[in-house]
Amino acid sequence: MESLVNFYLIPGLVLGAIYAMSATGLSLIYGVMRFAHFAHGELLSFGAYAALIVVRGLGISPLAAIPVAIGATIPLAWAADRAFYARLRRSLPAVLLISSFATALMIRAVLYLAFGPTPMSYGVGIVPPLAWAGFRIQQRHAWIILGAATAALLLHLLLSRSRAGRAMRAMADDPDLARITGVNVDAVIRLTWAVAAALAATAGVFLGIDTELQPIMGFNVLLASFAAAILGGIGRPWGSALGGLILGLAEELSSYPLLDGAPLLSPAYKTGVAFAVLVLMLIVRPQGLFRGMG
């Protein structure tokens, strides 16, 4: 039991928390602006590297650098929207999708030029895990889970208790009706980009804490993020968050040695679980598990 929890369940929750934050941002963008943002992974990478600069420059912890990562990533998202997406807002969704893919390539190229292809780390050193009755959890994993839960609570308060959040929900439910009733569409779009970029940047820092940093790190989790968003229902933030948790747990538990000590799936292939879930959901239930935003 301890082995299952320590080496599969807890890492699955950590991975699921990162997927959930990334997928929630994707769902918000799709819900309000109706296009699949393929540069979302690069926002994640950009936030992680922005935190790296202050971690190395000021000697602070990566967790303390999260506000800096958010503060750097939000203007990047706004700039990309103003330079590319806003001009194509009335175009076909495929046009926006292709433009977001081109934006992703540009951001990734800048990261390669600035930091190179060599993996980097925050260099937090060796920290003893927390232990109780045979169960162990790395302190970084505890912070990631706690941080993701805090982000989920703040997002819930924004969407359910604030006027701006209600405007976002109105835009997601019926954009034309929202405009008629006086919703400031431009302000809602800016807020959506800010929230999605903040979630992506935080997920990037968490991913860097758990593994390592490289310019392609965001792209590597993009498929799983889309799979989680589709699993929960694209455009449904809470469904996407739950989809991320389910997907992270499924990936880690898929390599659990259940049959005669042999893993159900070789760890080298566990990332294929996201692709399998994506294809299965598109075939069986393309609308996702949940309906409605919130």
Residue in the block written with tokens 């970029």: 197
pLDDT at 240 over 70: yes
Give the other-Cβ count within 10 Å of 192's Cβ.
24
> What per-residue confidence (pLDDT) applies to 10?
94
Task: Please check whether residue 144 lies inside any domain of the structure.
Answer: yes
> What per-residue confidence (pLDDT) applies to 293?
45
pLDDT at 47 over 90: yes
Higher pLDDT pick, 262 / 49: 49
Across residues 156-169, what is the average pLDDT? 92
Task: Please check whether residue 161 lies inside any domain of the structure.
Answer: yes
Across residues 61-87, what is the average pLDDT? 96
Indicate which CATH number applies to the domain containing 98. Answer: 1.10.3470
Q: Which positions ≥6 away from 76 have C-beta within 8 Å?
A: 43, 46, 107, 197
Reported confidence tier of residue 177, pLDDT bands at 50, 70, 90: confident
CA angle 60-74-43, nearest 5°? 80
> What per-residue confidence (pLDDT) applies to 259?
67
State the chain's mean pLDDT as an integer.
90
Q: Which two tokens stand for residue 251?
A: 């990936």
Tens digit of each residue's pLDDT (9 = 90 or more) over 94-139? 899 999 999 999 999 999 999 999 999 998 777 788 888 778 899 9
Residue from 86, 83, 56, 53 nearest 69 by CA: 53
Residue in the block written with tokens 């929890």: 5
Task: Please check whether residue 129 lies inside any domain of the structure.
Answer: no
Task: Please check whether residue 18 lies inside any domain of the structure.
Answer: yes
Reported confidence tier of residue 167, pLDDT bands at 50, 70, 90: very high
> What per-residue confidence (pLDDT) applies to 281?
80
Residue 131 pairs with which residues in a beta bridge?
A: 136
Number of compact structural domains in the chain? 1
Instruction: Please check whether residue 39 is in contact with residue 76, taking contact to mean a CB–CB distance below 8 angstroms.
Output: no
Task: Please check whether residue 267 lies inside any domain of the structure.
Answer: yes
Can you tell me the distance from the alpha carbon of 215 to that of 49, in angstroms, rounded to the nearest whole number?
A: 8
pTM given for the model: 0.93
> What per-residue confidence (pLDDT) applies to 294?
45
Tens digit of each residue's pLDDT (9 = 90 or more) over 259-293? 667 777 777 788 788 888 878 887 888 778 775 44
Reported confidence tier of residue 184, pLDDT bands at 50, 70, 90: very high
Across residues 182-194, what is the average pLDDT? 94
> What per-residue confidence (pLDDT) applies to 237?
87
Across residues 33-51, what is the average pLDDT? 96
Instruction: Please check whether residue 263 is in contact with residue 207, taking contact to mean a CB–CB distance below 8 angstroms.
Output: no
Structural domain including 229 reads: 2-124+134-284
Task: Please check whether residue 203 lies inside any domain of the structure.
Answer: yes
Task: Please check whether residue 293 lies inside any domain of the structure.
Answer: no
Task: Please check whether residue 292 lies inside any domain of the structure.
Answer: no
Q: What percent of the chain has pLDDT over 70?
A: 97
Across residues 149-176, what is the average pLDDT? 91
Across residues 192-204, what is the average pLDDT? 98
